[in-house]
């Protein structure tokens, strides 16, 4: 019996309730269609690194500059993660310790700004993120945010409008990046505007990091002072984040992460980041990213052909936002109906949304996770038709039951984590 199997059996015996929950979650993931664009299925190597004894170690500080003894192996592994992140993104410096995307963004603000400084970021309803200035988030409370939105007609970003806004608002930092914008960003244009406005340019590429790493999307690294990203979305690593920056910001970024914001780094997660970066440096990861994009096109085309409206009329990245307004239902009802059919999505604001964030007018979907489990463009066309069927009859139990049956059959033909125990 191998070590992983021993560990699993150990958990079943030590804590049957917990074991049972993890087994049920694995089965939910296997039997449903995961369309939340910020989720993915990590490799066995990533799972194993995360479930390792590295969690036992305190290592406050950085490689060769720690506040605890016994870090010779940890130093080597964290340095491996740093080196791979730098190579993957072509960055001068990488800090691999941020626990999550929100912390990475806070640390980047701490490094570059004083509290209360002005920042210009993307409006939440237009596709921005909570940490890009929402009043209920630390960002909106600690800093003076203003926002740029999208064009009222096309719902596309208008870089002339962003420029005008930046020159008028004079932010100290111009933020590019999103969590729900279905089109490509022109990071060079953002960099030029920041330079003209005398602002730092920070880019949050959490959603598109995998696309950027494989050149399927323009990289902000040459055009931004600091780049943050989570590691678990298109990048397909463990839940966590990293910060990339120009050499001139290295000291400030490292100080902002530790001791500025965090204590002991999660070295088991950092090792899993190293595993994911190693995978992302291999040629088949670029193929995977191209398949994400092809699948997104197939899904968008199928939705449109089945009479579903998409914000901006489509997508050119891994995600799309369904506009539910013509169907006369809200995001809450739509998400719940799709959930009941085994299709996982999340409700989302659409540009100029008149409904509340708790029941907005949109549903956000994407293809990173289903592409990992092998869905083809033909499968994605079928998924689009299934979504349309549910959204047109969200209260019809027989439609939902029928679609759930189709979901089960499709998932059975695209097995996930075959032969894997719950702990890898
Ligand atoms: N919560 C993430 C998302 O779903 O896009 C952003 O951090």
pLDDT tens string 295-335: 999 999 999 999 999 999 999 999 999 999 999 999 999 99
**Percentage of the chain surpassing pLDDT 90?**
95
Strands 319-323 and 65-66: unpaired
Is residue 179 lining ligand 1, measured as CB closer than 6 Å? yes
> How far does the centroid of ligand 1 lie from the alpha carbon of residue 72, in Å?
35
Residue 10 pLDDT level (bands cut at 50, 70, 90) = confident
Counting Cα atoms < 13 Å in the Cβ hemisphere of 154 gives 7
Domain at 291-413, CATH from 1.10.8.870, 3.40.50.720, 3.90.1150.10, 2.40.50.100 = 3.90.1150.10
Phi and psi angles of residue 422, each rounded to the nearest 5 degrees, phi first? -65, -20
Q: Which residues on neighbouring strands pair with residue 242, listed in sequence order? A: 229
Give yes or no for a contact between 331 and 414, defined as CB atoms under 8 angstroms apart.
Answer: no
Strand partners for 74: none
**Contact 129 CB / ligand 1 (< 6 Å):** yes
For residue 322, what are its two tokens?
């369904």
Q: What ligand 1 atom has the least distance to the C-alpha of 131?
A: 7
Active site residues: 58, 60, 204, 230, 233, 239
Q: What is the mean pLDDT of residues 30-58?
A: 97
- Distance between CA atoms of 134 and 136, rounded to whole angstroms? 5
Query: What 3-state class would DSSP assign to 347?
Result: strand
**In this model, does residue 137 exceed pLDDT 80?**
yes
Helix 377-392 to helix 283-305 angle (10° resolution) is 40
Site of tokens 């130093």: 75
Parts of the chain belonging to CATH 3.40.640.10 = 50-280
In degrees and rounded to multiples of 5, residue 366 shows phi and psi of -160, 170
Q: Can you give the pTM of this predicted structure? A: 0.96
40 touches ligand 1 (CB under 6 Å):
no
* Domain 50-280: CATH architecture, name and number where available: 3-Layer(aba) Sandwich (3.40)
What are the start and end residues of each CATH 3.90.1150.10 domain in the chain? 291-413
């Amino acid at each position: 019996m191998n070590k992983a199997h021993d560990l699993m059996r150990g958990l079943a015996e030590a804590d049957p309730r917990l074991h049972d929950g993890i087994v049920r979650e694995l089965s939910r993931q296997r039997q449903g269609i995961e369309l939340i664009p910020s989720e993915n299925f990590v490799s066995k190597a990533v799972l194993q690194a995360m479930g390792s004894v590295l969690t036992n170690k305190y290592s406050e500080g950085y490689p060769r500059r720690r506040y605890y003894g016994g870090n010779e192996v940890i130093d080597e592994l964290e340095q491996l993660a740093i080196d791979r992140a730098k190579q993957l993104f072509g960055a001068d410096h990488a800090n691999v310790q941020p626990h999550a995307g929100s912390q990475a963004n806070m640390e980047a603000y701490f490094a570059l700004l004083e509290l209360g400084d002005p920042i210009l970021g993307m409006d939440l309803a237009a596709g921005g993120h909570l940490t890009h200035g929402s009043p209920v988030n630390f960002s909106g409370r600690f800093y003076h945010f203003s926002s740029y939105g999208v064009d009222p007609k096309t719902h596309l970003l208008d870089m002339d409008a962003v420029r005008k806004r930046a020159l008028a608002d004079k932010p100290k930092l111009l933020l590019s990046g999103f969590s729900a914008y279905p089109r490509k960003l022109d990071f060079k244009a953002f960099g030029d505007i920041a330079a003209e406005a005398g602002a730092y340019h920070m880019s949050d590429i959490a959603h598109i990091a995998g696309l950027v790493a494989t050149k399927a999307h323009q990289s902000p690294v040459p055009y931004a002072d600091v780049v943050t990203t989570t590691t678990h979305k298109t990048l397909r690593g463990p839940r966590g984040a990293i910060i990339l920056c120009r050499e001139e910001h290295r000291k400030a970024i490292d100080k902002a992460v530790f001791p500025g914001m965090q204590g002991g780094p999660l070295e088991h997660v950092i090792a899993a980041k190293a595993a994911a970066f190693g995978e992302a440096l291999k040629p088949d990861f670029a193929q995977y990213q191209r398949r994400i994009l092809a699948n997104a096109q197939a899904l968008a085309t199928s939705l449109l052909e089945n009479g579903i409206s998409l914000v901006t009329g489509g997508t050119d990245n891994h995600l799309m936002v369904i506009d539910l307004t013509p169907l006369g239902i809200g995001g809450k009802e739509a998400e719940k109906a799709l959930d009941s059919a085994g299709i996982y999505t999340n409700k989302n604001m659409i540009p100029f949304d008149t409904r509340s964030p708790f029941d907005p007018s949109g549903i956000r979907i994407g293809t990173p996770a289903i592409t990992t489990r092998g869905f083809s463009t033909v499968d994605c066309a079928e998924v689009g038709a299934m979504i349309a069927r549910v959204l047109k009859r969200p209260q019809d139990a027989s439609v939902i039951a029928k679609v759930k049956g189709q979901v089960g059959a499709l998932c059975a033909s695209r097995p996930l984590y075959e032969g894997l125990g719950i702990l890898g």
